[in-house]
Structure 1
Amino acid sequence: MLLFVFAAFCLLAARCDEGQREVALFNKVDTNHDYQLTRAELDQVFLLFDNDTDGEVTPEEFKEDWVHQFDIGGPQEADTLFTRADTNDDGVIDAKDIPAIFAYFDENNNSFVDISEFLTEWGHLSLTAANQVDVSVNVGK
């Protein structure tokens, strides 16, 4: 019985941790702490991955930070999300990709991304195969 209680506690603790890293990432770039991201603040999410500050996030930079710096997930998930965020397929995430990324996250088109939108769309990106989501298609929501 004690083993069952311990297993249930571990499962509950693991489930409570779901999304916490994403919330921490959201909070890190929500500079005015109003629980919604402006376009400039969302830009900062991707600039966090630009280690050499050249204005472009390479797949290597993204994966390194995804896995080691922010500990958000594994390397395969990083590759998948990078592919989705590179909306124009030029091999980097840069200023040209940000408008489509912002539009994707701004579900209600109010020019802000609140925590609910961020977590919902982040979850959709994480759960769907890379070849099934085209962020740029969602610009005209």
Structure 2
Amino acid sequence: MLKLTVIVILFISSVKSDGDDHDNGHSLFDKYDSDHNGVLGKSEFSTLFMGFDAWPEDHRVSEHEFVNGWTSRNSQLSEPGSVTLFFFRTDLDGDRVITQNDINTLFSMFDENGNTSVSRQEFCDAFSAMYYAIDKC
């Protein structure tokens, strides 16, 4: 049943209307670039995902925490069904929680040039490829 749900979510997410009013990747990047230096360090990148860890803070983000957190903080990027897809794509080891291990792996995937920071363009390229949510960068 879970596989069917994921397939349906993937399908819904891939069928986007042309008039979507999604925010762009640069705005999302800027929201989490807390020191405004034009790159996301590991800590800033981690905050984008691990910041949804709600009470009790256990350094693990459940699907429920992720969906609620993402929807409340990034509503402009919250198509119906797409937030659950974001969760499953971020939970890289498939254990149904997002941990720092998932984020460390994800950071390495986003950091295309391996310089231990994620530039605005790297973020936009990788986020668009992984999550299909950013229409323009």
* TM-score scaled by length of structure 2: 0.72
Q: In the alignment, residue 36 of structure 2 is paired with which amino acid? A: H
| Aligned residue type for 2:95 | D
**Which position in structure 2 is the counterpart of 1:65?**
69
Q: 2: CA distance between counterparts of 1:70 and 1:85? A: 16
Is residue 40 of structure 1 aligned with residue 60 of structure 2?
A: no
- Structure 2 unaligned residues grouped into runs of 5+: 1-17
Unmatched segments (≥5 aa) in structure 1? 1-10, 129-141
Alignment CA distance shift 1:84-1:91 (3 Å): same
Alignment partner of 1:125 out of 103, 122, 130: 130
C-alpha deviation, 1:29, in angstroms: 2.2
- Change in Cα spacing, 1:98 to 1:126, as seen in structure 2 (3 Å) is closer
Q: Determine which structure has more spread, i.e. the larger CA radius of gyration.
A: 1
Q: Which has the higher helix share?
A: 1
Percent of paired sites with the same residue: 30
Q: How many aligned positions are there? A: 114
Tell me by how many angstroms 1:55 deviates.
Answer: 1.0
RMSD: 2.2
Alignment check: 8 A CA contact 1:29 1:44 kept: yes
Q: Provide the residue aligned with 2:91 in structure 1.
A: 86
Structure 1 residues 121 and 39: alpha-carbon distance in aligned structure 2, compared to 1, 3 A threshold: same
Structure 1 stretch 64-73 or stretch 40-49: which is displaced more? 64-73
SS at match of 2:98: coil
